Amino acid sequence: MKKELTYLFFIILLLPLWINAQIYVSPAGKETNSGAIDTPTTIQNAIKIVTPGQTIFMRGGIYSIASTIFITRENSGIAGKLKRIEAYADETPILDFSSQREINENKGIVLDGFYWYFKGITIRKAGDNGILLSGNSNTIDNCIFEKNRDSGLQISRYYAAYNSISQWPSNNLILNCESFDNKDSLAENADGFAAKLTCGQGNIFRGCISHNNSDDGWDLYTKKKTGPIGAILFENCVAYNNGTLTNGSTTVTGDKNGFKLGGEGIPVNHILRRCIAFGNGQHGFTDNNNLGAIEMTNNTSYNNKSNGFGFREGGKHQFRNNISYKSFKDKNFGKDVENSNVWWIKGSTNGRTPALVISDDDFVSLTVPAVLKNEDGSPNLGDFLALKSNSDFIDAGVQTTGIEFNGTAPDLGARELGSQQKTDFVLKAIAKPIAGGSVSVSPVKATYDAGDVITLTVIPSPDYIFKSWSNGETTATTIVKMDANKTISATFKSTLPAAYVLTTLANPIEGGEIIVNPNKATYSEGEIVTLTAVPSKGNELKSWNSGESTDVVTIAMTADTGVTATFGEKLIGKHTLRIEEAAPGFCTYDGVIVINSSADNKKVTNITDASGSGINYTVKVPVSGLYTVLFRYVHRGKTTSAKVKINAADTIEVSFPVTSSTTKFATTESSTVRLNKGVNTIRLETIDALPFANIDWVEITGEAPVADSCP
């Protein structure tokens, strides 16, 4: 009996752990909540308490977050017991970092831990990378990165002290992710994805889509200073329309390549298999002066503005079974292995003897579909760039490592058809939400042949109506033709009143309060809510997390929503504003942030030694008038001068005499400039290419200057 009671005691003791095996978070969650599904906590708190093998389920809605979420090396899972963050059911959680300023330190998430798994999360509008992935053995699955102010996801070290490739992020899998509309203020750094500078071995991009970014789709840049990175494996990835954002605006300064694969002549043997680049503003694929032996196998380039494949002479690149069509030119490929590629150069077919002539007739369709991905995030191009069954490119390739095929040999290009039709396609039909209804499938089969036609019909549950299919159709029945594994979802809408939760936060709490009208526990679909910021005495509203700075804003409730109002001291009269590296008002700069050799490890901005380099600061003043500026710096070169530009116009010239040592700081003489009422950009810009001073801070003195958000 005693043994039975002891056993029962342990069952009771462990029961809470079994019940709370998972952690739930929502935009309306509170840090003090338990993390159960009916009392969700915050994502920041969940990350602190999650243990290996547990899953953090994120409920749908917008999570307004102002500070970087940092997952430390100490906060890691273990092999076989990952720490997981996943979207709950078929809901869409969005991590919104729009209140961050555009500076290098303002990542959305820094994932420095090991053995984490992210799935189904959207990360947007971070001040720098959406995710900086600096840890090992992590998986990022079916996540979306949009409108971040540097690359959507970047694989690079976080700590500068990690100076060997063995210390850099390794063995990470980026699976079925999408990245788009990422753009920095200079439009020259924000790629869809990047694995560059300090990236380790064994990293893979599989089934990812990168499009409409201001710079490149993928950037694998290397520098002589840091040396080679680990080889990256690409499988079934797509890069398109980079250099043009989804709103149609284009960039002048962006590189605009689909896949940029190196830099500065450093050899790294990357591998690209069955990837597609089309519609990019520069090259589809380019080695970018990578003089290694890149393996390019069964890739397709179509309608890129410059080279479909732009590779410099001197490389040892291996090309097998590739197609380039309707790009301006292609050049210097490296080794055309076994005469297996077809290049289309200025309207002529080159590269294969005897020539295979490429034309529109080789393809089922050259029309880009409106939707380019499956429900799981993997690419689904439909008939676009698929080969016709009578094309000369069917079975015209050579067999090689990592390429599965139908028929007697691989087809050319990324889209395999083959003389034998594929017979194991899987169809998944789901209802969103699950309670909304079901989907009838006819005929029902475990797997389907290529060309099979499937009829899907929705069956709404009581109190729900059908809204749309994931293919955009709104009729109750839709037809699906099987040419790949497919996931089709039917979205239902409840006819009952919605119950969305609004959470507001004053930052800091003592800075003021937010008046909510109407103030309710829950809100219905589309209900309009007015938010009024009321600063406490001596304070003023600086901004909402949406970026707006008016005292009153309105929002439409379409999901659980969190809103933050940031308050700060209201300044009147003559004041001095100091803007240091990484502080509010410190915006873009040419160069690097370095640790000065002084005892206190002071950070300074080391401006690039080139004419026209500089730093941009942004300040806001209540009235137009004269203000003084001065800079603190350290300088061991020759005395140099720089321009101070106000709103892009030359104003004054400032001299930077040498200082006695690298630990001795000095300030420039005070100079007078005219600032306009409102927001002003102050730029310190070098005149010549001499080694320039390292800048510590700038001070602006006058009528209540305050730091403003970067443009």
CB-count exposure of residue 114 (10 Å: 0-12, 13-18, 19+): buried
459 lies in some domain: yes
Under 8 Å between Cβ of 222 and 290: yes
245-277 pLDDT tens trace: 998 888 778 899 999 999 999 999 999 999 999
Residue 500 binned pLDDT confidence (cut-offs 50, 70, 90): confident
| End position of a domain, from candidates 569, 592, 625 | 569
Place of tokens 């999360």: 121
Same domain, 629 and 582: yes
Same domain, 535 and 565: yes
240 lies in some domain: no
Active-site residue, from 260, 422, 432, 620 = 260
Same domain, 655 and 701: yes
The pLDDT value recorded for residue 15 is 38
The pLDDT value recorded for residue 570 is 78
Is pLDDT above 90 for 507? no
151 lies in some domain: no
From 220, 230, 108, select the one nearest 172 (Cα to Cα): 230
| End position of a domain, from candidates 494, 519, 537 | 494
Is pLDDT above 50 for 60? yes
Between residues 645 and 573, the one the model is more confident about: 645
Same domain, 607 and 698: yes
Same domain, 511 and 546: yes
Is pLDDT above 90 for 379? yes
Q: What SS3 string covers 94-123?
A: EEECCCCCCCCCCCCEEECCCCEEEECCEE
Same domain, 555 and 595: no
Is pLDDT above 80 for 2? no
134-189 pLDDT tens trace: 999 999 999 999 999 999 999 999 998 999 999 999 999 999 999 999 999 887 88
Question: What is the Cβ-side half-sphere exposure of residue 24, based on CA atoms within 13 angstroms?
Answer: 15
516 lies in some domain: yes
The pLDDT value recorded for residue 494 is 82
561 lies in some domain: yes
The count of structural domains within the chain is 3
673-685 pLDDT tens trace: 999 988 999 999 9
From 22, 51, 48, 54, select the one nearest 36 (Cα to Cα): 22
* Whole-number average pLDDT of the chain: 87
Largest distance between two CA atoms of the chain: 91
635 lies in some domain: yes
How do 539-544 and 561-569 pair as beta strands? antiparallel
- Catalytic site residue 224? no
Same domain, 459 and 526: no
Question: By residue range, what is the domain housing residue 449?
Answer: 427-494
Is pLDDT above 90 for 41? yes
Q: How far apart are CA 559 and CA 686, in angstroms?
A: 49
From 60, 212, 238, select the one nearest 148 (Cα to Cα): 212
Same domain, 459 and 540: no
Same domain, 606 and 648: yes
The pLDDT value recorded for residue 6 is 42
The pLDDT value recorded for residue 332 is 53
The pLDDT value recorded for residue 40 is 93
The pLDDT value recorded for residue 123 is 98
CATH code of residue 584: 2.60.120.260
Same domain, 534 and 602: no
Is pLDDT above 80 for 202? yes
The pLDDT value recorded for residue 93 is 94
- Range among 256-265, 442-451, 473-482, 647-656 with highest mean pLDDT value: 256-265
Report the pLDDT averaged over residues 49-57: 96
682 lies in some domain: yes
The pLDDT value recorded for residue 13 is 40
Same domain, 435 and 522: no
Q: Please, what sign has the CA dihedral across residues 617, 618, 619, 625?
A: positive
Is pLDDT above 90 for 99? no
What single string gives the DSSP state of each residue in 655-683? EEPPPSSTT--EEPPPEEEEE-SEEEEEE
The pLDDT value recorded for residue 354 is 61
Same domain, 529 and 608: no
With the CA atoms of 250, 251, 255 and 256 taken in that order, what torsion angle do they form, in degrees rounded to the nearest 10? -10
What single string gives the DSSP state of each residue in 333-382? -SEEGGG--EEEETTEEES-SSPPPP-GGGBSB-SPPS--B-TTS-B--T
325-367 pLDDT tens trace: 988 666 556 566 667 777 665 545 555 556 677 889 999 999 9
Q: What percent of the chain has pLDDT over 70?
A: 92
The pLDDT value recorded for residue 696 is 92
432-462 pLDDT tens trace: 888 889 999 999 988 888 788 999 999 999 9
287 lies in some domain: no
Query: CA angle, corner 233, sides to 231 and 237, nearest 5?
Result: 140
The pLDDT value recorded for residue 216 is 96
The pLDDT value recorded for residue 597 is 60
Is pLDDT above 70 for 547? no
Residue 667 binned pLDDT confidence (cut-offs 50, 70, 90): very high
Report the pLDDT averaged over residues 474-502: 85
Q: Please, what sign has the CA dihedral across residues 433, 434, 436, 441?
A: positive
| End position of a domain, from candidates 494, 512, 537 | 494
Report the pLDDT averaged over residues 696-700: 94
What single string gives the DSSP state of each residue in 256-321? --SEE---TT-----EEES-EEES-SS-SEE-SS--S--EEES-EEES-SSEEEE--TT---EEES
